[in-house]
C-alpha cells in the first residue's frame, strides 16, 4: 500500500513538474467514453482543438492527478492547467454557481444556457472565482437531467420520498431532500456502492447513465425520471495560466472551449436511448405524471431561499431568465 501511494505521488509530481508551455494537462473526471460521458466529450474536443492548433495537450485519467480538492488546489496555484471538476469545487470559492443546480428552477438546459451566456451568470461566477486563481470555462452537462435512483422503494409520488434516506453529495442535496420530506446522508462517491448495499442509503440522484457507467445495476432497481435539474460539472482552468497565455494562445483556448461546449450540447441530443439501456439492465424506468411533477416543483420552491449564495445572487439568477 505504501509503495502504491509512493508511485501515485511520484506520477502526480512528475506530471505537475512539466513546463506549462510544453504541455497543457487536462485532468479527466470520468472514463474516456465519448458515447457515455458528456464531460469526456467536452475534454476530448477541447484537447483535440489545442493539439490541432499547436498547443500540446494531454488527457490524464480520472484522479491520476489527485481527487477533487487536490485538483482545485493545483488549479488555483497554477500547477495544473485544466480540470473537469464538480461544481461543488467552484462553490467553495463562490457559491453563486449553486444556483445552476436548484431543482426545477430552470425549464430546461436551454434556459440554463441562456442564463449563463445572455444573462451574464457565467461572468458573475467568474467574478468570484478568478481572484482566487480559478476560471470556470463552462458548465458541462453530463447527460439527461437528474432523476431519482433507488434500490428497493420505487418513487412514483412525492409522498414516496418520505420513507427513503438518500445519499447526498453535499449540504445542498441534504436541503433538497428535506424540502421533499425525505432524509439525506452525505456519502463519498467511492463509498456509494457499500452504502446502497448495506442500507445506509436507499438511493441517489444522478443523470440516467450513472449506474451503467459505474457498475451499480446489480443493486439499483428503480429510476424515476424526475427531471429535477441539469446534471452539471465544470471545466475549470488556472487563471494564472490563462492570463499568462499570449493573445493567440488565449484565442485558441477560448475557441477550443466554444467548440467543446457545442460538442457537449450536441451530445445531449443523443442520450434518450439511455433510458432503454437502463431497462435492458433490469432497472425500472418510472415517468412522473404531470400532477406529481408539479408537486415536486412546488415542494422545491422553499429551497431557493435556503441555498447559501452571495447576497443578490438568487435575484440575479431569476433576472437572467426573466423570472
Q: Which is nearest to 43 in space by CA: 56, 59, 64?
A: 59
110 C-beta neighbours (distance < 10 Å), count? 12
Residue 123, Cβ density class (10 Å: 0-12 exposed, 13-18 middle, ≥19 buried)? exposed
Q: Measure the CA–CA gap between 129 and 180, rounded to whole angstroms.
A: 31
Q: pLDDT tens digits for the chain (323 residues)?
A: 444 444 444 445 445 444 444 699 999 998 899 988 899 999 999 999 999 999 999 999 998 999 899 999 999 999 999 999 998 878 889 999 999 989 999 988 999 999 999 999 999 999 999 999 999 999 999 889 999 999 999 999 999 999 999 999 888 889 899 999 999 999 998 999 999 999 999 999 999 989 998 999 999 999 999 999 998 999 999 999 999 999 999 999 999 999 999 999 999 988 889 999 999 999 999 999 999 999 999 999 998 888 889 999 999 999 999 87
Provide the residue count of the chain.
323
Structural domains present in the chain: 2-99+107-142+232-271 (3.40.190.170), 147-229+273-320 (3.40.190.170)
- 3-state helix, strand, coil split of the chain in percent (to 5) is 50, 15, 35
Report if pTM > 0.75. Answer: yes
Within 10 Å of residue 97's Cβ, how many Cβ atoms? 27
> CB under 8 Å to 146, separation ≥6 — which residues?
103, 205, 206, 207, 226, 227, 228, 229, 230, 231
Do 153 and 202 contact (CB within 8 A), yes or no? Answer: yes
Check if the beta carbon of residue 103 is closer than 8 Å to that of residue 296: yes
pLDDT at 22: 62
Which pLDDT value is given to residue 4? Answer: 40
Q: Is 178 helix (H, G, I), strand (E, B) or coil?
A: helix
Hey, what's the torsion of the CAs at 12, 17, 21, 26, to 10 degrees? 10
- Burial (CB < 10 A; 0-12, 13-18, 19+), residue 243, is exposed
Amino acid at each position: 500500500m505504501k509503495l502504491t501511494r509512493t508511485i501515485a505521488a511520484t506520477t502526480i509530481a512528475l506530471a505537475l513538474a512539466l513546463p506549462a508551455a510544453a504541455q497543457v494537462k487536462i485532468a479527466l473526471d470520468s472514463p474516456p467514453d465519448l458515447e457515455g460521458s458528456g464531460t469526456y466529450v467536452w475534454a476530448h474536443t477541447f484537447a483535440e482543438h489545442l493539439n490541432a492548433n499547436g498547443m500540446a495537450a494531454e488527457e490524464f485519467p480520472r484522479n491520476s492527478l489527485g481527487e477533487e480538492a487536490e485538483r482545485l488546489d493545483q488549479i488555483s496555484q497554477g500547477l495544473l492547467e485544466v480540470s473537469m471538476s464538480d461544481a461543488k469545487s467552484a462553490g467553495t470559492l463562490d457559491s453563486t454557481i449553486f444556483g445552476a443546480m436548484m431543482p426545477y428552477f430552470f425549464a430546461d438546459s436551454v434556459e440554463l444556457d441562456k442564463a449563463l451566456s445572455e444573462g451574464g451568470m457565467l461572468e458573475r461566477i467568474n467574478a468570484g472565482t478568478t481572484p482566487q486563481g480559478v476560471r470556470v470555462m463552462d458548465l458541462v452537462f453530463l447527460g439527461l437531467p437528474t432523476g431519482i435512483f433507488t434500490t428497493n422503494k420505487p418513487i412514483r409520488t412525492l409522498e414516496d420520498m418520505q420513507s427513503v434516506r438518500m445519499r447526498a453529495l453535499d449540504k445542498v442535496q441534504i436541503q433538497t431532500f428535506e424540502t421533499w420530506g425525505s432524509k439525506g446522508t452525505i456519502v463519498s462517491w467511492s463509498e456509494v456502492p457499500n452504502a446502497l448495499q448495506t442500507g445506509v442509503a436507499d438511493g441517489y440522484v444522478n443523470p440516467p447513465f450513472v449506474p451503467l457507467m459505474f457498475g451499480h445495476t446489480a443493486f439499483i432497481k428503480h429510476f424515476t425520471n424526475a427531471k429535477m435539474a441539469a446534471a452539471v460539472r465544470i471545466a475549470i482552468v488556472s487563471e494564472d495560466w490563462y492570463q499568462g497565455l499570449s493573445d493567440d494562445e488565449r484565442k485558441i483556448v477560448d475557441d477550443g472551449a466554444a467548440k467543446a461546449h457545442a460538442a457537449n450540447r450536441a451530445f445531449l441530443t443523443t442520450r434518450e436511448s439511455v433510458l432503454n439501456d437502463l431497462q435492458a439492465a433490469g432497472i425500472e424506468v418510472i415517468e412522473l405524471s404531470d400532477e406529481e411533477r408539479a408537486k415536486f416543483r412546488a415542494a422545491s420552491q422553499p429551497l431557493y431561499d435556503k441555498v447559501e449564495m452571495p447576497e443578490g445572487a438568487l435575484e440575479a439568477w431569476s433576472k437572467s431568465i426573466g423570472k
